Amino acid sequence: MMSQTVTLHIPEPMFNRLRQMARMIDQPLEAVIYQSVQGNMPPLVEDIPNEWRDDLMDMEQLDDEDLWKAAKEPLSEHQWVRHRKLLAKNEEDALTNKERRELEELRAATDRFVFRRSYALALLKWRGHTVSPATDVAS
């Protein structure tokens, strides 16, 4: 993998925090900075499953207000309840073939829902918004 050198001006408090973290985990400062950058980047479209790419690429064009709507959109109550019932029944190994297919479909829909919400929050974070566990996105 090729690498590039970048000169980056970091405010002293942030630099001190990064240096402290490097000491704490016994890693080079460069590794801590690299991990900080890598860990905060939203996924590239190429890293996203093919069936979700178009939807997420469209999200990149949304304004902040619409991204917040996507991040706060609740999962259908009916879908959530049905998913939980089928999961419980699955643990008892009591699913019919039809229910097993339905559970697979619900899992896929829930995965897509969660990924869409997460992607919206990642984009908002990269646009400078504060996104934290306290952000009101509960369904």
Q: With a threshold of 0.75, does the pTM exceed it? A: no
How many angstroms separate the CA atoms of 114 and 120, rounded? 10
pLDDT value at residue 16: 96
Is 62 a residue whose pLDDT tops 60? yes
For the chain, what are the domain ranges? 1-40, 45-126
1-40 CATH, one of 1.10.1220, 2.30.29, 3.90.1150, 1.10.1200: 1.10.1220
Confidence label for 138 from pLDDT (cuts 50, 70 and 90): very low
- Per residue in 64-121, pLDDT tens? 999 999 999 998 899 999 999 999 999 999 999 999 999 999 999 998 898 889 889 9
- Residue 134 scores a pLDDT above 90: no
In sequence order, what DSSP letters do the residues of 92-129 get, joined into one string?
Answer: TT---HHHHHHHHHHHHHHHHHHHHHHHHHHHHHHTT-
pLDDT of residue 50: 86
Q: How confident is the model at residue 139 (pLDDT cuts 50, 70, 90)?
A: very low
